Amino acid sequence: MTDFSHLNKKMEPQIVNISAKQVTHRRAVAQATVEVPENILQKLKEGDFKTPKGSVFQTAIIAGIMAAKKTGELIPLCHPIGLENCEVHIEVNDKNEIEIYCTAEVEAKTGIEMEALTGASVAALTIYDMCKALSHDIIIREIKLIEKSGGKNDFRRE
């Protein structure tokens, strides 16, 4: 099976050769969903989402951006690319779940979805870390690509 882009003909790991690709504008949005117990959500709301460790959402936003910038160092076969834009937005939805959105953009020969996914993931882990003193019953339920554009294929989750 040679359909996996990160395997060569001998089925050994390889970085994808992007030398012949054209530079295009690439954008990706990823989402992570964090479920916290009601007591944590109430404490966060009462304290304007601030804790003795600092502002939970603001710290998670910074962590997500920092992680997106380091994606090429964290994912072994991911190309290191110069991130040109990264935004992390966090909100509480009507189900009292914390939704994290990470948008990443670059002009490059290869995609940016791993950076968006990494940013959303680390932001979710940061929320877990900052709230775990109240309860370990925190669930990072879902991390998914919402959309990507640029390159060979565009994608938008319905």
Q: Which residues are catalytic?
A: 129
Q: What are phi and psi of 13, to 5 degrees?
A: -65, 145
- CA dist 113 and 84 (Å) reads 13
Neighbours of 4 (CB within 10 A): 10
Within 13 Å, how many C-alpha atoms sit on residue 89's CB side? 7
Joined tokens for residue 25: 């504008």
3-class DSSP assignment, residue 123: helix
Neighbours of 14 (CB within 10 A): 13
Neighbours of 153 (CB within 10 A): 8
Helices 56-69 and 113-131, axial angle in degrees (round to 10)? 150
